[in-house]
Amino acid sequence: MKKEPNSIMGLILMVMYFMLGVFLITNPEPSIKIMCGVIGGVLGVVGVVRIINYFRLEQYEAMLRKELAVGMFMLLIAFYVVMKAEVIAGIIPIALGIVLVFQGMTLAQMALDLQRVKRPGWYVELISAGVILVLGLLVLFIKFDAAKTRAIFLGISYVVLGIGMLVSMFLMRTYKKEYKKLEVVESTAIEKQ
């Protein structure tokens, strides 16, 4: 079964978020260059995947999704983050907090989408989204006394985000399989009439 570009992208993001979290927990006092290198690497990989997706999409869908432009922009940002680590260092915690808030909102919408189609387990997704959203807001609005404490908190938050995305992917995948089976049954019934 061919994987869709969005599911590949989601899987890569999940792994990257989880790895970033583990890195921050195990190296709470990394040099700025290493931290910027990791973030630049994540952005670079995501950018390359978006560019590859552009060439894999149908022409019309590629025009609508702007994967090439977004991918190139992400590569440019990745290059800047790596080359200007000193400038970026103060912005990194804020940017990581914003990503957590955004991903929490995205997972909340997925939970509501699952609830609208009456899928069991939607509340697990909603709880996961709520936890991630709260973690992101804490990163943005709580003043940490030490950079080490903030790094560990960010690491834990990103591990939770990775796990939350894994749960989300599992729930959406099971729904998608059941939906496709239902479509086949309905189309077969219509053809028989």
Backbone phi, psi, residue 130, to 5°? -65, -45
Token pair recorded at residue 73: 């922009």
What average pLDDT does this structure show over 16-37? 80
**If you average pLDDT over residues 61-84, what whole number do you get?**
88
Asked whether residue 191 carries a pLDDT value surpassing 60, the answer given is no
- Mean pLDDT value across the chain: 82
Residue that wins the pLDDT comparison between 49 and 174: 49
pLDDT in tens, 99-111: 999 999 988 998 8
Q: Is the pLDDT of residue 158 over 50?
A: yes
DSSP state of 121: T
Go through 155-165 and write b for each residue having 16 or more CB atoms within 10 A of its CB, e for each that does not: bebbbbbbbbb
